Structure 1
């Protein structure tokens, strides 16, 4: 969806400073959130305060639609990972987009399918106790979205939060995977070959 179209329709941008919460578990869904600029992470937080990243949404992407479509409370926190500008689209306007924009409808189906695939993949990986296998699966999944020669723009902490591992385990795992030739690193950054 072209975010400029939403602005042209009179929908307002709202600024969210880094680390601000957009919504939290238990809240009733009222909007789908389109990111004009910035980045948002969707996380669950353990009783000990450890974050598990369920998804990361970037400029041009949107989030919050599964809860809105099913009319069920949010299950996770969404937190601005950096300063972000976001357009909140209410339920009525979101359904009009689905009805009147066939390209958007197909994009929505693809996005929901990709998220379902990601969740299924992570459930399978979390059932595996082999940290290096879990890490490799996540890295390969993230590499599909970038071009050959580009660095994977994710920190070791974010990889830990995405896989449920400790940072130290991620660091050891990256060295092990690079040593086996399963990933390529340049100056500590994972590079797509």
Structure 2
């Protein structure tokens, strides 16, 4: 749906499991007002869990919702379905900065639908990723190993991707994200490091 944006800006936060995407989003949300930036909750076919703010939905209900156009973007990964609400389009028409926890899998479709898409790639040291996955305890050790095996950067190369290293203190990475979100267009501090 090109043309939905006007002057709005969709900022898609992507990165491997354990990189701290939800933590960064929470950090920014706590420090920015709703009139500055709007943070959308994604729908996931998983029960509520600590550290992840999402709308839980069964797989069957998700499929019905997708068929009825409830999602602007949706995808499957790790045996689950994920969706971003179609209300994103209204927010962008109202010239809002909209932040969403996305996936590298959906970037080509997102880039096509939203020409002003801004991608933030969150990265962390592999040892940090492993420790975080273990600490959150959502999955078995085998499932954690599978996620880590898939955490190698995906073969997506979109110009203008902004890279945030999140292996250390959350405030350092969090403040970089806030700076990007409150910048007028993102252009002033946008990294030209491609997502690989």
TM-score between both structures, scaled by the size of structure 2: 0.25
Greater relative contact order (CA < 8 Å, ≥ 6 in sequence): 2
Indicate the structure with greater strand content. Answer: 1
TM-score between both structures, scaled by the size of structure 1: 0.25
Q: Bigger radius of gyration, 1 or 2?
A: 1
Indicate the structure with greater helix content. Answer: 1
